[in-house]
Structure formats: structure tokens, C-alpha cells
Amino acid sequence: MRWALTTAVSASCYADVDVFENEPEALELATGQYHSMALVEGGLVGWGSNLGGALGEPSAELIATPRIVDSGPWTEVHLGDGLSCAVDERRAVWCMGRGEFGELGQGDRRDRSELVEVTLPAPVVQVSTRFSHTCAMFVDCEL
């Protein structure tokens, strides 16, 4: 896969801009409301809106070019509206970003700009994130 951004040079002309010198292989792509992430061999790569710290930056509002967010190792990535969650090799869920509705699973409504582990009763087999919530299904098929 070639990592490039298409940038408007003029109203009718576009040019690709290379992003990585040694382009990592994308294993999975996730899109949220205003941000995107790719799971790559080297971790998570993200770009777009950093609402609530969803891309791991405490101060930036917009990440215009893809950059390494976290080195993992991760097996899945899921995005919502200003919310980013990843699943590690133990099948544990880690989330960051907007926490206004408790969607980060930390028992509060704080935003976080770094991945924090969600305390769950068992390893997960499936995770789903949407506008302002996160759901997980466990090995025993309970929600």
C-alpha cells in the first residue's frame, strides 16, 4: 500500500504527497466521525480531528498528515466520534479521546489523550464503537 495524501495544488489540480519514507503495511483501516486510523505492523497510524485527544495529542486540534499514534502491539482498532479504541494481544480494550458520555470506560466523563485500559471482566471477542458509546462482547458471548 502506498501512503500518500492527495493535496489540492489549485482548483483543478491535485498532487500526491508521500507521507512515510518506509511505508508500513496497513493491516486494518478504521474511520470515525472526523478521524481515521490504520493498524500497521508498527502500531497505530492516525490522522484527522484530534477531538478530545482521539489521536493521542494533548494539544493539537488537527493532525493533517498520518503519524504514528501508538506502537502497540495491537490486533484491532475501532473509532467513534472523537473516540479511539484498540484491542491488544491479550484481547484487552484500550481507549482514548472524548469521554463526555463515559465512552472510554473509566467511570468518569474526562477526555484522555493516551490509550488507557478498560477494566473488563473477561477478554473480548468483539468491540464496537459508535457516536458516543462503546460495546464489547466477551468470550462467553455476553455483552
Q: What is the pLDDT of residues 43-102, one digit of tens each?
A: 999 999 999 999 999 987 899 999 999 998 999 999 999 999 999 999 999 999 999 999
Grid cell locating 4? 500518500
Residue 24 in this model has a pLDDT that exceeds 90: no
Q: Which residue intervals of 24-121 are DSSP H helices?
A: none
Cβ count within 10 A of residue 83: 30
Burial code of 3-16, b = ≥16 C-beta within 10 A, e = fewer? beeeeeeeeeeeee
Report the alpha-carbon distance of residue 96 to residue 139 in Å, rounded.
23
Name the band, by pLDDT with cuts 50, 70 and 90, for residue 10: very low
Name the band, by pLDDT with cuts 50, 70 and 90, for residue 12: very low
The angle formed by the CA atoms of residues 128, 129 and 131, to the nearest 5 degrees, is 145
8 A C-beta contact, residue 63 and residue 55: yes
Name the band, by pLDDT with cuts 50, 70 and 90, for residue 7: very low
Residue 11 in this model has a pLDDT that exceeds 90: no
Residue 114 in this model has a pLDDT that exceeds 90: yes
Q: Report pTM.
A: 0.82
